[in-house]
Amino acid sequence: MVINEPSDNAGGGAPSDGTHLLRAMLEAGLENCCFGFIHDPAVVEQAHKAGVGRTVRVSLGGKYDKLHGDPLDIEVYVKCLTDGRFVMQSPMSRGLKVDLGRMARLQVGGMDILVSTVRTQTLSPDAFLLHGIDVMQCKIVGLKSIQHFRAGFQPIAKAIITADTPGLTTRNVTYYPRRNTPRPIWPLDKDAYYPD
């Protein structure tokens, strides 16, 4: 199953360091799951300095603003470190050379989390595979993307669930505070009426 988080999509200008969905997945105690990816160059640097096989305490994500969630203060196991370079194999951009900068695969309980130094949305399973994760073996894959991920994930997912979390690229406009919006206005006011 794939859970996509459109509200924190770097492709639409969001920071891609939001923690709402990842926090919910961690708090649920899910097993055999992965999340990809969260933009946090400081945590990637910390993981690379620690090295593979080390356990470190990190403050993951939530550095851009409060809208996208607070940082996750968690202890993680550094499972894999890469240069973030690979060639896309999915239908979205097959053959495209990708450079996501240095990356880290961190483990917390039954969750594998990919952390990047380049801010971008998750387009395909390829970044997971670079870090030794076969998404076909995972029960749940959490990712940050609105639509582009579907080319690589829809053919292999049993289900796709869209999370409704606060963020700059959410479709739920009720998350934004309004001060100067004339009322009534749809969709904030369900009974808004506009005479001809």
Q: Look up residue 136 and give its amino acid.
A: M
In the prediction, which pLDDT does 26 show? 97
pLDDT (tens, 9 = 90+) of the chain, 196 residues, equals: 999 999 999 989 999 999 999 999 999 999 999 999 999 999 999 999 999 999 999 999 999 999 999 999 999 999 999 999 999 998 888 999 999 999 999 999 999 999 999 999 999 999 999 999 999 999 999 999 999 999 999 999 999 999 999 999 988 888 788 889 888 888 888 888 888 7
Give residue-wise pLDDT tens across range 130-186: 999 999 999 999 999 999 999 999 999 999 999 999 999 988 888 788 889 888 888
Tokens found for residue 41: 């160059």
Taking the domains of the chain in order of start, what are their residue ranges? 2-175
| Residue 131 neighbours by CB under 8 Å, 6+ apart | 79, 80, 82, 103, 105, 112, 114
Tokens found for residue 135: 């998404």
| Residue 71 neighbours by CB under 8 Å, 6+ apart | 19, 59, 60, 61, 62, 63
In the prediction, which pLDDT does 58 show? 98
